[in-house]
Amino acid sequence: MTLEPEPCKPCQIARIVPTYPFFNLGCLHCGARIIQHLATLPIARSEVAARRRENLTHWVAFGHSEADLRALAQQKTPVISPAAGLVVSAGSGNHPAMKRR
């Protein structure tokens, strides 16, 4: 079991305003949320797919797991980091700030 770290500032604000347009490059949840957001843009599907792939590449370059980003981005609700101090199982995420106890 691990304790979830304090959510980043964009995740804290996105809890109140789900369409908050800023993201923290160190946060896995922010990466998934921006990939979700791109799907809502009023542009051609091919352009959306290209932008999502490009953003996925950038977030992976920052050290995030592609599989985790894809899994989170497929959720129907906006992805927001869990509340601080929430106990989660060790295999439920790959947030860079998570530490094993």
Measured CA to CA, the distance from residue 78 to residue 65 in angstroms comes to: 18
What's the pLDDT score for residue 4?
57
Rounded mean pLDDT, 24-28: 92
Q: Is it the case that residue 32 has pLDDT exceeding 80?
A: yes
User: Domain segments of the chain: what residues?
Assistant: 2-88
Nearest to 80, CA basis, from 5, 21, 26, 8: 8
pLDDT tens-digit map of 78-96: 888 886 544 444 444 444 4
Measured CA to CA, the distance from residue 96 to residue 77 in angstroms comes to: 22
Cβ contact 27:8 at 8 Å: yes
Measured CA to CA, the distance from residue 67 to residue 60 in angstroms comes to: 10
Question: What's the whole-model pTM score?
Answer: 0.73
Q: Is it the case that residue 65 has pLDDT exceeding 60?
A: yes
pLDDT tens-digit map of 5-20: 788 999 999 999 888 8
Measured CA to CA, the distance from residue 51 to residue 59 in angstroms comes to: 12
